[in-house]
């Protein structure tokens, strides 16, 4: 999911809230740049790029792989003595201390990989599936995302201090309510869990309700 997904958020948030989406390599305007396959190098690039933006109150939101990246980014900021977010929002991913279920997918052949991604996430648009050349442009990034998730090595640290909210789709076959509730051990602050209708991409199908919940929680903390 590229940064353009979050453009629609800008029209849904109240005045005084700015949406700053991060476009990772391998997506949209950066499609031909090599995607990150490990979370360590990605964090090393993100920290200096985001540092100038963190001189004001901020929150962090991440969906799916982005939930892991958001979580580890906040921990990396803490280790570096940087500012803490007012809130961490994680979405569509099991808690980081839980083992990734199932056998690795990123090592499969292209055909088997596509079949498994469709089964797990229903996350490849039909227009892409019908165009083999177009599909080949997207496969390296999808495969890299799965490699990053499947090679992620959780290392225990003290819980975060900031509030943490976990979101999920009720019909997401890869992320149960218990998987999401397990995020609560990652904060010593307030924790909340909310489920929305839909599957893994409820962030698109239920976008207005999701954004309303995010902004309501931020407003309550002012």
If DSSP codes are grouped into helix, strand and coil, which group holds residue 175?
coil
Can 64 be counted among the known catalytic residues? yes
Q: Which of 216, 68, 100, 92 is nearest to 166 (CA)?
A: 92
Contacts of residue 85, Cβ cutoff 8 Å, sequence gap at least 6: 58, 59, 60, 74, 162
Contacts of 125 (CB under 8 A, 6+ apart): none
32 CB-near residues (< 8 Å, 6+ apart): none
Q: Assess contact for 52 and 160: CB atoms under 8 A.
A: no
Nearest CA among 193, 186, 175 for reference residue 101: 175
Task: Please tell me which residue in 4, 64, 91, 109 is annotated as part of the active site.
Answer: 64
Indicate the DSSP class of residue 90.
E
Long-range contacts of residues 125-128, Cβ cutoff 8 Å, at least 24 apart:
none
Here the tokens at position 149 are: 């998730």
Name residue 89's beta-bridge partners: 61, 165
Which of 47, 67, 59 has the alpha carbon at shortest distance from 20?
A: 59
**Residue numbers annotated as active site:** 64
């Amino acid at each position: 999911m590229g940064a353009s997904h979050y453009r629609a958020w800008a029209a849904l948030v109240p005045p005084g809230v700015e949406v700053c989406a991060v476009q990772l390599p391998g997506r949209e305007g950066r499609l031909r740049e090599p995607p990150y396959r490990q979370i360590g190098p990605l964090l090393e690039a993100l920290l200096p790029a985001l540092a100038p933006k963190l001189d004001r109150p901020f929150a962090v939101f991440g969906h799916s792989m982005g939930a892991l990246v958001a979580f580890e980014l906040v921990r990396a900021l803490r280790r570096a003595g940087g500012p803490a977010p007012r809130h961490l929002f994680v979405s569509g991913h099991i808690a980081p201390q839980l083992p990734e279920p199932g056998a690795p997918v990123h090592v499969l052949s292209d055909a088997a990989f596509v079949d498994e991604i469709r089964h797990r996430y229903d996350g490849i648009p039909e227009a892409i599936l019908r165009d083999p050349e177009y599909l080949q442009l997207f496969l390296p990034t999808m495969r890299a995302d799965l490699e990053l998730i499947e090679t992620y090595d959780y290392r225990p640290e003290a819980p975060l201090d900031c509030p943490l909210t976990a979101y999920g789709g009720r019909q997401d076959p890869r992320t149960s309510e218990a998987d999401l509730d397990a995020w609560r051990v990652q904060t010593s602050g307030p924790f909340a869990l909310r489920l929305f209708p839909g599957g893994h991409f409820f962030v698109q199908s239920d976008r207005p309700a999701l954004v309303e919940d995010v902004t309501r929680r931020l407003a309550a903390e002012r």
